[in-house]
Amino acid sequence: MVWRQGLAVGAMVLLVNVPMLGARANETPTEATEAIAEQDVRSESVTTVQLHQAALERYRMGETREGREQLEQALELYRAEGDRLGEAMVLLDLSEFSLFYCCSDETLTLAQESLLIAQAIENSAIAAHAWARIGDYYLWNEEPHAAQNAYQQSLEIAQAAGDRLGEGRALVGLSVIDQPEAQTAQQGLALLTEAGTPRDEAFALLNLFFPYQDELDSPKALDLLTRSLAKFQAAGDRALFQDVLDTIFWLPLPYEQEESWQIVQAKLQQQLAIAQASNAHLFEMDLLLYLGASAQEAKDASAAIAYFQQAFALAQRIQDFEHALLSLWQLGQIYEVQRNLTEARSYYEQALALAQETNDIQSTISGLRALGEFDTKQGNLAQARDYYAQAFLLARDAGEREQANNLLSEIGHLGFRGGRREILKTIAYFQTRVPEFRAAGDIESIVVSAEAIAGQIYSATPEVQSYLQQSLEIARSQGQPEQVARVLEVLGQVHRRRSQPELAANYYNEALTIYQQTQNWRKVVDILTHLGRVYGDYNDPLDAQTAIDFYQQAIRVHQEHGVLGHTVNLRGDIARLYQHQGNFAEALYYYQQQIELYETNEHGHFGDVSPVVASVLGNIGELYAVQGDDETAINYYYQAIERQQQSDDFYRYSSIAKQLGKVVELQLKQGNFEAALNTYEEQLTVLQAQGDAQEIEFFFLGLSDVYHHQRYGQESNSDSQAQFAQFSTLMVKLYQRGLEILDPEEMSEVIAQLLGQLGEVYAQQEQYELALEAYQRELTLRKKTQDQQASDYPDAISNTLERIARIYHRQGDLEAAIEYYQQQIARQHERSTASVFQTFELTYPLNNLQSIYLEQGDFEAAIAVYQNELAFAQAQNRPDLYAELLVGIANLYRSNEDYDQALNYYQQILAVQHNDGKRNQQSQVHTLEAIADIHIEQGNFTTALAVLQQRLAIAQEWGEQDAVARALGGIGDVYRQLGDDQQAIDHYQQALKQYQAIGADYLDYSVGSITLSLGEIYQAQGNYDQAIQYYKDYLAIHQQRSFYWLFVFNVFSNLGFIYQDRAEYDQALSYYQQADGLAQDEENIRAQARSLAQFAGLFVAQGDVVKAIDYYQQAIAASETIRAKIRADNPNDPAPEHSFNEQFEGIYQDFAQLLNQQGQTEAAEAVLELLVLPEIE
């Protein structure tokens, strides 16, 4: 029940973002109550009745824990004194507490105990009240028959005794079960007004609210709650007053947000005026805070500021330190959201100063942390670190270890935000603290700091690893065993992320040994699971059987401690690995174990198990589908669907659609189109019969996911394409069916999505007119609701305009395409007023538009596309957009080989990026790279070198090792062009060191390019040992990354040449054969010709002239086939053939030389004659 849940949460739940206060969040009780509370409860100077009353006062003023403790003390005293009446009354009070704060079975037990005493002492008033409380319990637990019986018992007792108050309670309770609007309710309320207190009336109004728990948007719900609120205020019950406020806050009122806020504000303002008139400062404070929170939720910043400022002024006046802090923090947050950072900082600093003045350690820690978070968001990381550090020292010295650890973690996480430089600063901070930590024996802080920076491993591997190793050594020498294990665990995680499974496993295994020795079985399970992950990576298991062994060990440990529920995911991992091995029987066994555990659901650990059981059933279906048992697979998919339908899970609709898609996929594979269509039709018929509009809506939305899975997730062979064509036809029928049955008023968004999907299918089928019709209908519908969509991201209208433009482009109607791209651009201009559009949302249609103008041959129009937007970017104060527009212009000039203009615009881009601050260092690096490339294309290598040096300096300042490595590699390339091999080698090797420091995940194409270049340089220098090493490094990386085949062909060829030159002919033959294998696999005749020539050269070196001549003849024949095609394709252009001769003339010349050596002069001349270009008329 929403409202009861709100009552249990407490008032401060609204102020969710304020720092946690160390002291109580609620106000202190009255002076009389506090005086009683401070005395010895067994002292003769305090009667049990006084203690009872003081406890109720504390409870009702919001000190619920303290109030309950004193009620229990009063209960003991009443029992010791033999005061049965007092005992019965306290039991009722305790049952009320239980009812409102958890509604547990204790509520019923306490009320029943009170009832038994009342019956024993023949006290009808308490008996009637106890029966009413029992009724409340059953009512709130949704057991109406039991509740009705209890209320009836209460009514009969009260009426017999003339107990008007009891009669009123019972009548209200009965009216809730029967007819909330009936005369019974009014009669009961009248009796409560006459004989009871405002608190009695407030409770009755809450009970009357009960039937509205499922229709919280009813105005009646708000009316009942606000009436109850007023009664609790009149009764002075602040605890439940706050809880009702909380419930009002979360009501989903049936109005527009602004109107809802105004309605709530008006009602709470009435209560605020009453509180102010009666000097009820505590209630006034509550109302001001909740009005402020409600205004925030309604995005009425000015009203929120006014309320919190009033709250702060009131707190100062009544010396309410806690709520003064609360108000200051809230004001800081509001101004921060408004980006008024000066005011925001001022309020945060005022809060900190107030906490420090009052020597409140916890609030000071919270204030420092709030400022640290504020500066972190603004990028002031050094200041943030200082605030966190101060807070850490306070927390640690105050003995708040958990809080201190959290603050150390915050310091460690700062490196996430500032690149490598910030990581190094974070490590430096920890390093300066290490001697102090060690001297104080505070090894825990060292371990926590190691855990905190471990997430930085991708960006600062050497420094982070060094700190982790240092932390490990300190933990080994001074720490506890489990502290050592924690650092080992972190090192395991680091090496696992870096794709170094052997190292990761070593660290994990050492940690495992320690946890086994300390008998920390939960950590033992964690480490065994980590080891399973190391060897059983989800996509590409390293060693499936080893992973299975670790997972099974983890299961056994769980079983030893009777925690079977936690093994369910492990069994799923094992099933997946067996499936990967092709051991379907074992996979099935473990999937079935998963289902059994879910169904057992000990202690309700898994909650609603239907979604997860459905998921496992789907996995079993997949298992059978892989084996080709389609019928069994379909059966399991249907079981999964049936199970999902039993769930209340919000995502069940998309899951059902996914399983239906799998069924249909198998049916289409069997060529059974009618069965596939019937599958969807039958499901839709069931949904229509159920009348669940939302489920029908999600049925059609789910079709989109299924369609895209079929479109992009299938192999590109003829069978799959035919199956997808059938599936597309099926989707068209279903989309059209949806358009027929969905309510255009209630489901306009779903209909718009269906029209978009229909257009996409038609476009895929190249039925462009039908696609346009669907997209135009979608556009019309979306424009009707564009006010609601103004802030959507991505923007649906913009996307539809783009799809229409693309269709016209495919049809060749360029003018229509231009028109719609221009509409898309205008749409982004409209959205700019709401500051919701992203830069690429505008540049994307601009890029499409300029490409059409280029297609038309209108270069100036293409340039104007970007130039026309420059003023808009300036007006929007969007330097990022302005720079991107200049990039578009520069790239166009570069593609047009107008290098001077291109360089001019790139320099402008650089100036914009520089002025936009350090956050644009990445963009500056890319711009300088483009400038250098132009100078390289022009042959201006010295100028290019200077630009690249500038790029390197910015990359180093930026602190990203990847950018530094790429810059060093670029400089190496230029030195190589300049012929300075040693400088090239030096820079290449520096780049490699940078990449290697980053980790295995970065051993990509850049590293491959550098190793290839180094191999070629050393080969040219005759340093074959070095060349071989770099070529082999390249091939090793190729095994992981699969480089472009021609590069690999060249490496094999170069290695063959080196070994041939060394007269290691078997090795040479092996590499030439690998090169030839690639040429054959790629069916590339140029590479085949080269390969044949390489074999010929090897046989020449070995003195086997006959074989050499044979292979040269084959090479020349292949080359002449290429030449013939070149001439046929370019009958009037000799340039392509001239280029071919430059590449292949070495083969002809080497063959001619061999023939001359054999005395075959005429044959040699004939070979060379082939290189002569024919005259072109």
HEC assignment per residue over 505-532: HHHHHHHHHHHHHCCCHHHHHHHHHHHH
232-236, 746-750, 793-797, 806-810: range with lowest mean pLDDT = 793-797
* Residue 640 predicted with pLDDT over 50: yes
Within-domain flag for 873: yes
Q: Residue 301's domain is classified under what CATH number?
A: 1.25.40.10
* Residue 1 predicted with pLDDT over 50: no
pTM, to two decimals: 0.68
Chain segment 1079-1096, per-residue pLDDT in tens: 999 899 999 999 999 999
Which of 409, 416, 376 shows the shortest CA–CA distance to 392?
409
Within this chain, do residues 794 and 884 fall inside the same structural domain, yes or no?
A: yes
Within-domain flag for 861: yes
For the chain, the 3-state helix, strand and coil shares in percent, each to the nearest 5, are: 80, 0, 20
- DSSP letter for 122, please: T
Within this chain, do residues 769 and 795 fall inside the same structural domain, yes or no?
A: no
Within this chain, do residues 878 and 817 fall inside the same structural domain, yes or no?
A: yes
Q: Which residues of 42-69 are buried (b: 16+ CB within 10 A; e: fewer)?
A: eeeebebeebbbbbbbbbbbbbbebbbb
Within-domain flag for 848: yes
Within-domain flag for 708: yes
385-389, 487-491, 492-496, 1037-1041: range with lowest mean pLDDT = 1037-1041
Q: What would the mean pLDDT of 159-163 be, rounded to a whole number?
A: 94
What's the domain count of the chain? Answer: 3
Within-domain flag for 865: yes
* Residue 153 predicted with pLDDT over 90: yes
Model pLDDT, residue 258: 57
Higher-pLDDT residue of 679, 1064: 1064
Chain segment 796-838, per-residue pLDDT in tens: 899 999 999 999 999 999 999 999 999 999 988 887 654 445 7
25-39, 109-123, 1056-1070: range with lowest mean pLDDT = 25-39
Question: Using 50, 70 and 90 to split pLDDT, how confident is the model at 92?
Answer: very high
Model pLDDT, residue 21: 38
Model pLDDT, residue 700: 80
* Residue 253 predicted with pLDDT over 70: no
Within-domain flag for 802: yes
Model pLDDT, residue 787: 52
CB contact at 8 A, 1010 and 992: yes
Within this chain, do residues 798 and 885 fall inside the same structural domain, yes or no?
A: yes
Within this chain, do residues 720 and 804 fall inside the same structural domain, yes or no?
A: no
* Residue 216 predicted with pLDDT over 70: no
Which of 658, 754, 760 shows the shortest CA–CA distance to 713?
658
Chain segment 435-469, per-residue pLDDT in tens: 999 999 999 999 999 999 886 555 556 778 889 99
Model pLDDT, residue 677: 81
CB contact at 8 A, 490 and 475: no
Chain segment 921-957, per-residue pLDDT in tens: 778 888 999 999 999 999 999 999 999 999 999 888 7
Question: Using 50, 70 and 90 to split pLDDT, how confident is the model at 125?
Answer: very high
Q: What would the mean pLDDT of 233-246 be, rounded to a whole number?
A: 85
Q: What would the mean pLDDT of 174-186 be, rounded to a whole number?
A: 77
Q: Please state, for a pLDDT cut of 90, what percent of the chain lies above it.
A: 56
Among the three residues 891, 919, 935, which one is the final residue of a domain in this structure?
891
98-102, 356-360, 384-388, 725-729: range with lowest mean pLDDT = 98-102
Identity of the highest mean pLDDT range in 42-46, 136-140, 164-168, 294-298: 164-168
Among the three residues 726, 751, 776, which one is the final residue of a domain in this structure?
776
Within this chain, do residues 801 and 858 fall inside the same structural domain, yes or no?
A: yes
Within this chain, do residues 823 and 750 fall inside the same structural domain, yes or no?
A: no
Q: What would the mean pLDDT of 657-662 be, rounded to a whole number?
A: 84
Q: Please state, for a pLDDT cut of 70, what percent of the chain lies above it.
A: 89
Within this chain, do residues 796 and 886 fall inside the same structural domain, yes or no?
A: yes
Among the three residues 862, 891, 920, which one is the final residue of a domain in this structure?
891
Mean pLDDT across the chain: 86
Chain segment 1132-1160, per-residue pLDDT in tens: 899 999 999 999 999 999 999 999 999 99
Within this chain, do residues 771 and 839 fall inside the same structural domain, yes or no?
A: no
* Residue 698 predicted with pLDDT over 50: yes
Alpha carbon distance 978, 453 (integer Å):
43
Within this chain, do residues 796 and 737 fall inside the same structural domain, yes or no?
A: no
Identity of the highest mean pLDDT range in 408-417, 987-996, 1022-1031: 1022-1031
Within this chain, do residues 757 and 799 fall inside the same structural domain, yes or no?
A: no
Model pLDDT, residue 605: 56
SS3 (DSSP) at 253: coil
Model pLDDT, residue 17: 41
Residue 165 contacts by C-beta under 8 Å, 6 or more apart in sequence?
Answer: 125, 158, 191, 192, 195, 196, 200
Model pLDDT, residue 297: 82
Residue 450 contacts by C-beta under 8 Å, 6 or more apart in sequence?
Answer: 467, 468, 471, 472, 486, 487, 490
* Residue 622 predicted with pLDDT over 70: yes
Q: How many residues does the chain have?
A: 1177
Model pLDDT, residue 11: 31
Within this chain, do residues 794 and 833 fall inside the same structural domain, yes or no?
A: yes
Domain extent at residue 288 = 260-339
Which of 414, 408, 416, 409 shows the shortest CA–CA distance to 390?
408
Within-domain flag for 175: no
CB contact at 8 A, 780 and 806: no
Model pLDDT, residue 619: 95
Q: What would the mean pLDDT of 407-429 be, rounded to a whole number?
A: 82
Model pLDDT, residue 35: 39
Within-domain flag for 1141: no
Amino acid at 743: D
Chain segment 184-208, per-residue pLDDT in tens: 888 889 999 999 899 899 888 888 8
SS3 (DSSP) at 609: coil
Six token digits for residue 904: 């001019």
Model pLDDT, residue 632: 96
Residue 448 contacts by C-beta under 8 Å, 6 or more apart in sequence?
Answer: 405, 408, 409
